[in-house]
Structure 1
């Protein structure tokens, strides 16, 4: 009898109150959406002439292109001038040693 009262008291003291705990992981709910066919009302409607906008964009892109080509030519010229790269346009300016200085290997 005493034991049942102690166990009952223990349950009351250490009981965890039932509080709504928010879920940390999202719950996935899958809904089957009906496909909606595209129609002309969803297309954007241009307001004003498109040619000035197009010319401004092309002018910007052409400036970027010209800047890139000039930078490539500058860096390529600097590589050739500083001998960082050798493209073998002509024979080397310092040929190999004369043939009398070269020792032939004897294969035995």
Structure 2
């Protein structure tokens, strides 16, 4: 009985074992690279014109948004001192230190 179990175990292990040494290895070479057919500059110029339009629209939108934030006083960039300075010194009450 033990011999039959060992034989089944051996056959199962041979079926499940992967034998990597027998596989043929094929190295990559330059002939496998894709080769462009036809002129590529038309496609490239179309893509670049699209990207340039996206860049121009994005720049315009950023500048417009920044201008509107400054115009509506939603954003204060501290370019100079505030328009309303602190109150005069005669309006400020001084605290008295009470040592008790």
Q: Report the TM-score when normalising by structure 1.
A: 0.64
| 1:85 alignment counterpart | 75
Secondary structure (helix, strand or coil) at the match of 1:47 reads coil
Q: 1:102 to 1:42 in 2, by over 3 A?
A: same
Which stretches in structure 1 are left out of the alignment for 5+ residues? 1-28
| 1:60 alignment counterpart | 50
2:38 matches 1:48: yes
| 2:27 alignment counterpart | 37
Which has the larger helix fraction?
Answer: 2
| 2:59 alignment counterpart | 69
Cα drift, residue 106 of structure 1: 3.8
Q: Report the TM-score when normalising by structure 2.
A: 0.69
Rg: which structure is higher?
1
Cα drift, residue 35 of structure 1: 4.4
Q: 1:105 to 1:41 in 2, by over 3 A?
A: same
Q: 4+ residue runs of structure 1 moved beyond 4 angstroms?
A: none
Question: Aligned pair count?
Answer: 80
Cα drift, residue 30 of structure 1: 8.0
| 1:8 alignment counterpart | none
